[in-house]
Amino acid sequence: MYQVNSEVGVLRQVILHEPGLEFERLTPDNKDALLFDDVVWVERAQQEHQAFQQIFRNRGVTVHLLQDLLTETLKSDEAVSFMLGRVLDGRQAHMGAVLAAETRRALTALGPGDLAAHLIGGLNKRELREILGERPSGARSLGLDVLADDEFVLTPLPNALFTRDTSCWIYDGVSVNPMMMTGRSRETVAYEAIYDFHPQFADRAADRWTDGEAMAPAAIEGGDVAVLGNGTVLVGLGERTTPAGIEHLAMRLFAAGAANRVIVAELPKSRAVMHLDTVLTMVDTDAFVLFSELDRATLRSWTLTPGSRWEPTITENKDLFAEIGTALGLSSVRVLQSGKDSYSAHREQWNDGCNLLALAPGTVIAYEINDHSNRMLEENGIEVLRLQGDQLGRGRGGPRCMSCPIERDAA
């Protein structure tokens, strides 16, 4: 059984995604729509990611790669038909029926490895034609005829790199997340297929805390969710996670008795602060890193506890960290502030200086570029495992965003 019982307990197993075809297709023209800030040197990004994987393996953490999981999943005909049904039939309205049918014909002709690569890496018109070995019947599809050879029938999913956001494990269940940004919604379908059909997951069915794409637009994303332990979950409410998504999650957790307290922290709605873990992460059993330019005094937060069957009880808190301390049974919580001054705090937050992944209490992975924040952590007794991530960071995500823990001890 997979379970994630804390943010900082010993990490045992994790899902990561080594970037591939989808990174080769990022261009200055499509990068904004694909939620990247720049194009990427692909081979260097892959090397950086391999070094990231190695940090886990060196510490005894089992690494599962998303594309391998998806390939293994797609060995099942049932899984292929589930995925293609969701990816194509569900999107017929914007593709048109003929284009959806041609694309289905092409994808069905692929083996599991190539199919997984194109579901993540995208499919363009030229590839569609090559796979079908013929000229696609453009005469019947305006949508297809109008496309240039390099234009996409299926867009690439470069944000698959950020495995945390699309599905996140909370205690003994998993939230397969309806995403806020349409550019990421097909990622969700891949996780639904893996958790439903991959023998490693399907044979040990876990509780589901959310209903994936079916819940859209009540979005919730894993970068906003932190499993604090002691039956408590902390959720960010900002650009990506909605009040309705949080209420749904809380009610499912409460109904199953998996959690008894969901603390909600309001975030500024901006790209730099797209998720809670871009400004606040837990680094030790009693310590958090907080972006120093967020004013702790004005940070609004609420606590949801089990109420009636249909509604949680909601209380606004006076102080977020006091509430966290109470929830965790701590007499005080250490709040470590990132950056040396306002300039470095902003620069390092932009480069994911607060986006830390704990491998065990007091041991975190951090991008090396965030010099001041990393030294501040070390001065506070935190072990920092530095990762070179100039290319990986161009999608605005760090070590926590790039990891989906599936097994972690209580702290």
Ligand X SMILES: NC(=O)NCCC[C@H](N)C(=O)O
Q: List b or e across 308-336, with b for residues whose CB sees 16 or more CB atoms inside 10 angstroms.
A: eeeebeeeebeebbebbebbbeeeebbeb
Q: Min. distance of Cβ 398 from ligand X in angstroms?
A: 7
Cα–Cα dist 201/206, whole Å: 8
Q: Does 159 bind ligand X (CB under 6 A)?
A: yes
Residues 64, 68, 70, 74, CA torsion sign: negative
Catalytic residues: 401
Q: Which of 121, 395, 399, 405 binds ligand X (CB under 6 A)?
A: 395
Q: Which of 25, 64, 164, 186 binds ligand X (CB under 6 A)?
A: 164
Q: Min. distance of Cβ 203 from ligand X in angstroms?
A: 29
Interacting stretch for ligand X, rule CB under 6 A, among 70-78, 189-197, 269-277, 363-371?
A: 269-277
Q: Does 223 bind ligand X (CB under 6 A)?
A: yes
Smaller CB distance to ligand X: residue 21 or 181? 181
Q: Does 397 bind ligand X (CB under 6 A)?
A: yes
Smaller CB distance to ligand X: residue 99 or 404? 404
Q: Min. distance of Cβ 33 from ligand X in angstroms?
A: 11
Cα–Cα dist 336/380, whole Å: 8
Q: Min. distance of Cβ 139 from ligand X in angstroms?
A: 38
Cα–Cα dist 222/84, whole Å: 25
Helices (H), 234-319: 243-256
Smaller CB distance to ligand X: residue 136 or 223? 223
Smaller CB distance to ligand X: residue 73 or 188? 188
The Cα-based distances of 263 to 192, 196, 232, 235, 343 in angstroms read: 27, 29, 7, 6, 30
Interacting stretch for ligand X, rule CB under 6 A, among 138-146, 307-315, 370-378, 389-397?
A: 389-397
Q: Min. distance of Cβ 38 from ligand X in angstroms?
A: 11
Q: Does 22 bind ligand X (CB under 6 A)?
A: no
Q: Residue 323: which H helix or E strand, with range?
A: helix 320-328
Residue that is written with structure tokens 């650009």 in the block: 239
Smaller CB distance to ligand X: residue 239 or 284? 239
Cα–Cα dist 162/402, whole Å: 4
Smaller CB distance to ligand X: residue 79 or 267? 267
Q: Min. distance of Cβ 394 from ligand X in angstroms?
A: 9
Q: Min. distance of Cβ 316 from ligand X in angstroms?
A: 26
Interacting stretch for ligand X, rule CB under 6 A, among 50-58, 161-169, 188-196, 246-254?
A: 161-169
Interacting stretch for ligand X, rule CB under 6 A, among 128-136, 189-197, 330-338, 392-400?
A: 392-400
Count of residues in the chain: 411
Beta-ladder partners of 155: none
Q: Does 396 bind ligand X (CB under 6 A)?
A: yes
Cα-atom radius of gyration of the chain, to the nearest Å? 21
Interacting stretch for ligand X, rule CB under 6 A, among 274-282, 291-299, 332-340, 359-367?
A: 274-282
Q: Does 168 bind ligand X (CB under 6 A)?
A: no
Token pair of 123, please? 């499919």
Interacting stretch for ligand X, rule CB under 6 A, among 133-141, 156-164, 194-202, 257-265?
A: 156-164
Secondary structure (3-state) at 157:
coil
Q: Does 35 bind ligand X (CB under 6 A)?
A: yes
Residue 350: name the closest of 298, 393, 295 by CA: 393
Cα–Cα dist 16/24, whole Å: 18
Q: Does 277 bind ligand X (CB under 6 A)?
A: yes
Q: Does 278 bind ligand X (CB under 6 A)?
A: yes
Cα–Cα dist 67/46, whole Å: 14
Q: Which residues are CB-contacts of 285 (< 8 A; sequence separation ≥ 6)? A: 8, 361, 362, 411
Q: Min. distance of Cβ 270 from ligand X in angstroms?
A: 12
Residue 253: name the closest of 302, 216, 288, 305 by CA: 305
Helices (H), 142-184: 142-145, 163-166
Q: Which of 22, 165, 187, 286 binds ligand X (CB under 6 A)?
A: 165
For residues 122 and 152, the answer to whether their CB atoms sit within 8 Å is yes
User: Which residue ranges make up the site for ligand X (CB under 6 A)?
Assistant: 35, 159, 162, 164-165, 184, 223, 274-275, 277-278, 395-397, 401
